[in-house]
């Protein structure tokens, strides 16, 4: 109950304290990439439905000799999650061995906050879930990278909701099967039947809160929230408590944080970002319906959108034809091992299944990321030596 109450009140405070909303000065992804010895270029792209997105290209000192890779972040995060683990960050590991690395920031994040006709403050801007990300963001990023690199195929890595967006994109746009060499989904938020009790209760509370207060956006990229992580959680004992809070929320303490005291500070400064409440509501619908399905708009609208069906149809996972590697954690409280096994039974072309002793966030900060994540992903990609 205490954890639920804390999350509830933090979200209420952050999303109703408008003067504290942060305007990003500079580009911390560029700073982090350069600090780790790589060059970086920022690209702006536009989706078919008018959203402006940012891609960061990580550039090694030596020319890329291998195929392009797009990294797709999770819910309530931005692409910064791929560069906060020092030289153990997946983006740097891939670039170091010659891959052309691109970091996608989904719509709604502070890096991708533009639209051709809608303001970031308008409710209409925030009318999206992971379905629209899959339908529009993923294809736009893939097509841009392929054209820029003058290639025909690439690799994609997606974490959590990023995995859901990727698979959704392939299902709704099957032609993507011909543009992806292989994909890697880490802690995939696809089936959520067995979500742990604490995150289950919290995500329902959050969606209920959004309806009560008519909120359509969760602005966690704020000075107020950042202050919480950088000042409050920086105190020695409080810092350890904050790390314990994160561990409990996402499945359990796997002891993978290199510096537990500063973990929440790192997240609030570089990782946590804005999202729409429709994104969270879609995940709640998937959870409650016990199936990976399209967005439920209610019987009347569903009937118009889904060929007369009063209920949203499930996504047809049989349409995914690319080689797929699944990595999941044994103490992940959001995408449980049981739910990942359900997903495995729905996918035809599984290249590999890797089970690891981690929680939902260890993908981002694990001190064993080099051997648990980077090496398996790189070894798998290296099998596809053809330069597309």
Q: Which of 110, 160, 218, 336 is catalytic?
A: 160
Q: Which of 100, 332, 339, 362 is catalytic?
A: 332
Q: For this structure, is 360 an active site residue?
A: yes
Name the phi and psi angles at 347, rounded to 5: -105, 135
Q: Which of 105, 115, 360, 365 is catalytic?
A: 360
For 160: left if phi > 0, alpha if psi spans -120 to 50, otherwise beta; the answer is left
Q: How many angstroms separate the most distant Cα atoms in the chain? A: 58
Distance of alpha carbon 178 from alpha carbon 152, whole angstroms: 9
- For the four alpha carbons of 193, 198, 199 and 203, in that order, the dihedral sign comes to positive
| CA-closest candidate to residue 101, choices 366, 364, 381 | 381
Q: What distances in angstroms separate CA 127 from CA 86, 121, 124, 215, 276, one per listed residue?
A: 35, 12, 5, 12, 7
Q: For this structure, is 282 an active site residue?
A: no
Cβ atoms of 200 and 287 closer than 8 Å: yes
**H or E element at residue 355:** strand 350-356
- Catalytic machinery residues: 160, 332, 360
């Amino acid at each position: 109950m205490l954890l639920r109450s804390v999350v509830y009140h933090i979200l209420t405070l952050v999303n109703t304290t408008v003067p504290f909303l942060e305007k990003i000065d500079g580009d911390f992804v560029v700073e982090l990439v350069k600090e780790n010895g790589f060059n970086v270029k920022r690209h702006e792209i536009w989706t078919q439905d008018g959203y402006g997105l940012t891609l960061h290209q990580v550039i090694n000192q030596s020319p890329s000799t291998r195929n392009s890779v797009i990294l797709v972040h999770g819910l309530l995060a931005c692409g910064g999650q791929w560069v906060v683990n020092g030289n153990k960050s997946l983006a740097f590991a891939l670039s170091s061995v010659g891959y052309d690395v691109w970091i996608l920031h989904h719509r709604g994040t502070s890096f991708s906050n533009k639209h051709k006709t809608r303001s970031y403050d308008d409710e209409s801007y925030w009318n999206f879930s992971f379905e629209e990300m899959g339908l529009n963001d993923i294809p736009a990023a893939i097509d841009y990278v392929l054209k820029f690199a003058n290639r025909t195929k690439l690799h994609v890595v997606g974490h959590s909701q990023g995995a859901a967006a990727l698979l959704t994109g392939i299902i709704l746009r099957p032609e993507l099967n011909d543009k992806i060499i292989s994909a890697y989904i880490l802690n995939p938020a696809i089936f959520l039947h067995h979500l742990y009790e604490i995150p289950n209760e919290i995500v329902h509370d959050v969606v209920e809160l959004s309806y009560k207060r008519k909120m359509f956006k969760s602005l966690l990229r704020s000075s107020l929230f950042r202050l919480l992580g950088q000042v409050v959680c920086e105190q020695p004992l409080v810092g350890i408590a904050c790390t314990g809070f994160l561990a409990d929320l996402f499945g359990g303490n796997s002891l993978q944080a290199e510096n537990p005291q500063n973990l929440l500070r790192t997240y609030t400064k570089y990782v946590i970002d804005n999202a729409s409440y429709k994104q969270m509501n879609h995940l709640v619908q998937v959870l409650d319906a016990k199936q990976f399905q399209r967005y439920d708009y209610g019987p009347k609208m569903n009937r118009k959108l889904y060929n007369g069906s009063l209920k949203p149809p499930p996504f047809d996972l049989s349409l995914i034809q690319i080689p797929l590697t699944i990595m999941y954690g044994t103490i992940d409280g959001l995408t449980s091992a049981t739910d990942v096994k359900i997903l495995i039974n729905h996918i035809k072309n599984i290249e590999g299944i890797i089970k690891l002793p981690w929680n939902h966030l260890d993908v981002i900060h694990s001190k064993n990321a080099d051997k648990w994540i980077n090496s398996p992903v790189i070894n798998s990609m290296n099998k596809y030596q053809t330069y597309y």
